[in-house]
Amino acid sequence: MAKTVLFDSFKRRNFRFFIASESLTRIGDQIETVVLVWVVLVETGQPALLGVFAALRFLGTLIAPVFGELVDRYDRRMLMVSGRLVSALIAAIILVIAFSGALQIWHLFILSTISGFARTFSNVMREVLTADVVEPRLFANAIGLTRSATDIMHMTGPLMGGLLLKWYGVGPAYIPVVFVYLASAFAGYKLLLPQRDQEPTGKSMWHNILEAGSYIKRHEVVAALLFMAFLTNLTALSVKDVLLPVFARLVLDIGPDGLGRLVSSLFAGAFVGSLGLAGLTRLQRGGGFLIVSSFCWHGIFIAFAFSSWVNVSMAILFVVGIFQSFTMVTMATLLIRVTSQEMRGRVMGVRSLAVYGLPMGLLIAGTISGSLGAPSAMLFNAVVGLLATLVIAMWLRKLWYAN
């Protein structure tokens, strides 16, 4: 097997446009997230209601298997472009309403819920297209580089969103959001994907979705990876959209720009972890590496729960980000490797359905932090994550040996 070096995937034209599109989408999403969660938290003053708002943004995950079926059937490039344009349209509507001075909280609830469907579709497309833009030997490298690039966007997006909101307000903060979504759609349009057989199969969409379910049941490693995806969304990934804003406002007593620094610290660590795995793909020891990383990821949150100093919290979040990337990059790489090509769209659709653990986690985090405080909610998430990782590792043991 040819040796993989850090930037091998960039030699592929399709990968360059793919990573550009993904990066632009992510920075727009991160600017939006910081602006929206801060406005909702400040205007309502209720962490539980913030949890509801954040959960509604992921409502589209309920139909993720349908999106996966569409990805297997139709032109992936045009589907990708369409999803990006929907995101741009929703952002433009918020921008116009904000500049008119008529923006209300209920507007944000409704429009964010609609844009959540486009976000879910984008997530399904990302997982599948990675396998279309590079050859199999570069899967780990491509996923690591993609995560590294989007981690940079996660670092800069919250800082931009927090500062724009603090200095100028909601309307001006949405100007770059609309721009980057449109630029992302253009980059997606420039992809030249391999031709696939897209003729009707004679099977119904429902039959094909059930076929994906049967495939997952027959492959223990695939099932284990999907359980891990659900777990990480339920416990660890839900921290950013609810618990960090609550910590910033009520525990650390900092503003939206401070929240931006916290989120950026998290993704600075994630960038280091992703880039490390992109260049040192042998560091990924398959399922065993995934399980250990998940344990570390959840365990470090316990230290964060007891921190009341901004700089210490930022340092802890940096380490959290490293293990976040170790877990997520390894999980994505394994899932692409072990899933057959003809089933990837549908399996990734089910994998995105696992993202529904995120809105569940957001609701739980918002409820606990509203009644018992954010530190208690963080401890709850960490302990549940540690115990659930242990159960999956003991129940689906083939995951330990997956490569």
- Decide if 4 is inside a domain: no
pLDDT at 200 over 60: no
Percent of the chain with pLDDT over 70: 89
Contact 166, 157 (CB under 8 A): no
* DSSP single-letter state for residue 202: S
Grade residue 1 by pLDDT with cuts at 50, 70 and 90.
Answer: very low
Q: Is position 323 within any domain?
A: yes
Assigned domain for 346 exists: yes
Question: Does the pLDDT value for residue 299 go beyond 80?
Answer: yes
Residue appearing with tokens 């297209």: 129
Separation CA 218–CA 113 (nearest Å): 34
Q: How far apart are the C-alpha atoms of 84 and 76, rounded to whole Å?
A: 12
3 domain-assigned: no
Chain center to CA of 179: 21
| pLDDT above 50: residue 208 | yes
Provide the whole-model pTM.
0.70
- Which of 13-17, 144-148, 235-239, 278-282 tops mean pLDDT? 13-17
CA atoms in the 13 A half-sphere facing the CB of 211: 16
pLDDT at 186 over 90: yes
Rounded Cα distance between 386 and 273, Å, is 20
pLDDT-derived band at 58 (thresholds 50, 70, 90) equals confident
CATH number of 215's domain: 1.20.1250.20
pLDDT band at 199 (very low <50, low <70, confident <90, very high): very low
Angle between helices 139-167 and 13-44 (to 10 degrees): 40
| Residue 199 within any structural domain of the chain | no
Share of the chain above pLDDT 90, in %: 19
Contacts of 141 (CB under 8 A, 6+ apart): 4, 6, 8, 9, 134, 278, 281
Q: What is the arithmetic mean of pLDDT over 5-11? A: 79
Instruction: Measure Cα distances from 11 to 7, 16, 113, 133, 134 in Å.
Output: 7, 8, 38, 11, 10
Mean pLDDT, residues 257-262: 84
- Full domain range(s) for residue 137: 9-193+205-401
Higher per-residue pLDDT: 315 or 365: 315
Residue 20: pLDDT band with limits 50, 70, 90? very high
Helical residues (DSSP H) of 339-356, grouped into ranges: 344-353
> Does 1 map to a domain?
no
The answer to whether residue 53 is domain-embedded is yes
Give domain status of residue 31, yes or no: yes
Q: Taking residues 382-398, what's their average pLDDT?
A: 90
Query: Quick one: how many helices (H) and strands (E) in the chain?
Result: 16, 0
- Better pLDDT: 397 or 278: 397
Number of domains in the chain: 1
Residue 294 has pLDDT above 60, yes or no: yes
